[in-house]
Structures are given as C-alpha cells and as structure tokens.
C-alpha cells in the first residue's frame, strides 16, 4: 500500500480578538475552517497560504510567522494531511472577489464563539491552530526553506 500524505496550508488571521474563518460546505453541512487548502505544483508554502486565504475569504493578508506544522488523519476519509499553519494580519478585503466553490463566506469569530460550536469545526485542527497562536507559538517565516 502506498502512503501519500496531502500537504496543506492554513492561516490564522487575528484582528481585535476575532479570527478570520471560512464557512464552507463539507459533507453536506456548513462548517468552519481556517482559510486553508492544498499546495499546488510549482508553488511555495507561503504562496499557497496567501492564495488560499484570498480565494476563500477575499482578504489580502500579510504572513508574519509559522504557528505550527501538524499531521492529521481525517476520520471522515482516512486521508492523512500535513498542515503548515501560518499566522498573519489582515491587509484589505476585496469586496467583489469571487470565492471558491462551496464557500459560504468569510466569518470573523472570537475564540469563545468558535469553541462553543465544536460540531461546526471542519476538524479539530481549527481550534488547535488558534490555541497554539494564542499560546504564543510563532516561528520565523525563514523556517520555510526553498532551494537556492
């Protein structure tokens, strides 16, 4: 059997105690997730995080740190994901930006509002990434290396 993990990126974007989340359809229900998605060919992890955040929320952001690298096997499909989570700050919203299919829209929620709705999390990583960010986990973006 061949083991092929899926490389994904996510962003924790905080402003005034609220976090930029994506409300999206998954498995026939509306769930919350960080702006997140798969790494594409010929793309850096940082480029992927910026692209996914814009595609799913309409927000341009500035990445400031790596919050964590996570290995997660989804109960729903048995797929293993390696998630690189970045933190950053919002720059500007593009109000007329077309969002990815299945995205209901961006939502700004406090940690408490999100924690009160565990049945709406896309995965347990949603709150874990925020908690790691709030706990001060910040690694320099230089942690992400590209070939010279």
What is the chain's alpha carbon radius of gyration, rounded to the nearest angstrom?
15
Which regions of the chain are under pLDDT 50? Answer: none
pLDDT of residue 109: 98
State the Cα–Cα distance between residues 14 and 76, nearest whole angstrom.
Answer: 28
* Domain definitions of the chain by residue range: 6-140
pLDDT of residue 92: 98
Angle at 142 between CA 59 and CA 144, to 5 degrees: 75
State the Cα–Cα distance between residues 22 and 85, nearest whole angstrom.
Answer: 15
pLDDT of residue 19: 98
pLDDT of residue 3: 75
CA distances to 51, 73, 95, 115, 133 from 54, in Å = 5, 26, 11, 24, 20
The architecture that CATH gives domain 6-140 is: Alpha-Beta Complex (3.90)
């Amino acid at each position: 059997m061949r083991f092929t993990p899926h490389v994904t990126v996510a962003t924790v974007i905080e402003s005034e105690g609220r976090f930029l989340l994506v409300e999206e359809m998954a498995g026939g229900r509306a769930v919350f997730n960080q702006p997140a998605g798969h790494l594409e060919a010929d793309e850096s992890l940082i480029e992927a995080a910026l692209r996914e955040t814009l595609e799913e929320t309409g927000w341009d952001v500035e990445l400031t740190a790596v919050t964590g690298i996570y290995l997660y096997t989804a109960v729903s499909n048995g797929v293993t994901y390696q998630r690189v989570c970045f933190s950053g700050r919002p720059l500007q919203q593009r109000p007329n930006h077309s969002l990815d299919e299945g995205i209901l829209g961006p939502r700004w929620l406090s940690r408490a509002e999100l924690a009160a709705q565990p049945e709406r999390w896309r995965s347990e990583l949603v709150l874990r990434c925020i908690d790691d960010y709030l706990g001060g986990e910040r690694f320099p973006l230089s942690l992400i290396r590209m070939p010279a």
